[in-house]
Amino acid sequence: MAEPLRLASTRHKAVMAVVGPSGHREREILTAIVETFIATGEPVGSRTLARANREGLSPATIRNVMADLADSGFLEQPHTSAGRVPTTEAYRYYVEQMSGNARLSHQDQTMIQESLSGISDVQEFMERTSHVLSLISRNVGVAVAMGGPKNALEHVYFSRLGDQKVLAVVVTRSGLVRDRVLRLDLPQSDLDLAARYINDNFRGWTMEDMRGELARRIEQERSEYDRLMQSIEQLYTQGALATEQSGQTVFVEGAANLVTGEQDRQRLHEMLKTLEEKEKIVQLLGAYLGAKQEAVRVVIGLDETLPSMRNFVLIGAPARMGNEVMGSLAVIGPTRIDYQHAITAVSYIARLFDKILNESE
């Protein structure tokens, strides 16, 4: 589990300002500014850096370097402060320099392993993952479980509740139970026959494949099983076998962590509203975490997908079993986030996913 960390593209621009005779000094000072600002949240001044600088650079020398970094677009100065803060470009540069060097602490490894031990299905893994990521990052942990073999049908059950009411229960092989009440007027004998037909013919099928095949059989076999197919058609069209949109389940935890941050109230309100709309979370992770991606991806500035997320960062990776993508996991937070903590945790959990779920087979 300790192999070098790999990062996918962070959408950063070429860092021309730190290349040259004084490149090393500029890189060191920029890194120090980013790390100091992440730790304190306060604009960073030259005197603060001078006290911590191991090379004994004077505040005047550091101020000159900071001025060059500001001219190059890596630092900006709040109106009411003499210190500087990193820009989006500074964060992107900082993340690029971290590639291959970040390591997860032993304490975090132990906490993750204990939290995810004993898991046997995708849904439970993702639910716990969102919780663990929120704890480690102190931001928002997100996990999306996709439909697939692990969410294949185990069995269905239909029960007449009364006049024009039927309870439809769908149990998947991952142990997920979905139920809904339908407005239908079918006798219990027809419901039992329909459930037996579906269970005998479609146990182990993914929900999407089963619905497609049922639609085909309803048309082709109507004359042979007229009454049975009429019952199944009514159940089908009323949504008895429906699942979540796109077969995806979304877990979000840690939104309260954002409330303690020094975010603009309007932007914070928009961010929290976005997190409440699960389809937007699916949209966000789908836009940045592709099936072909192998490494952790860091995206700073999410406004290309959601305008309300302009000042936020996504650190995520796909979750795989073998070559099949079963979902995705991520940390979402403001640009002033502990990148090393979040990146290493996401990377570690993504690798654990395949190991833990395969061992449970």
- Specify the 3-state DSSP secondary structure of 88: helix
Percent of residues, the chain, with pLDDT higher than 90: 18
Q: Is residue 7 part of a domain?
A: no
* pLDDT 10s digits, 160-218: 887 788 888 888 776 667 778 888 888 899 999 989 999 999 888 877 778 778 878 87
Tell whether 322 is covered by a domain.
yes
What range defines the domain where residue 205 resides? 149-245
Average pLDDT, the chain: 79
The span from the CA of 119 to the CA of 97, in Å, is 35
pLDDT in tens, 49-74: 888 776 778 889 888 999 999 988 89
50's tokens: 């001078």
The CATH number covering residue 205 comes to 3.30.390
Pick from 226, 167, 236, 162: which is nearest to 198 by CA? 236
How many domains are there within the chain? 3
| Residue 83 in tokens | 């210190």
Instruction: Tell which of 192, 210, 245 closes a domain.
Output: 245
Last residue of a domain, one of 245, 264, 299: 245
Measured between alpha carbons, how far is 52 from 33 in angstroms, rounded to an integer? 11
Q: What is the DSSP string of 118-156?
A: T--SHHHHHHHHHHHHHHHHSSEEEEEEPPSGGG-EEEE
Cβ of 153: how many Cβ atoms within 10 Å? 20
Residue 92 has pLDDT above 60, yes or no: yes
Residues 163 and 222 in one domain: yes
Query: pLDDT digit string (tens) for 318-350?
Result: 888 777 788 899 999 888 899 998 999 999 999
- Do 165 and 20 share a structural domain? no
Q: Is residue 74 part of a domain?
A: yes
Q: Tell me: the pLDDT tens digits for 122-140?
A: 888 888 999 999 999 999 9
Which residue reads 């996991």 in tokens?
Answer: 329
Q: pLDDT of 243-267, one tens digit each?
A: 554 457 888 888 777 766 555 566 6
pLDDT surpassing 50 at residue 237: yes
Predicted confidence band of residue 21 (pLDDT cuts 50, 70, 90) = very low
Q: Are residues 265 and 125 both part of a single domain?
A: yes
Residues 95/344, Cβ–Cβ less than 8 Å = no
315 plus 344 within the same structural domain: yes
On whether both 259 and 230 belong to a single domain, the answer is: no
Distance, CA of 251 to CA of 349 (rounded, Å) = 15
Inter-residue contact 335 to 341 (CB < 8 Å): no
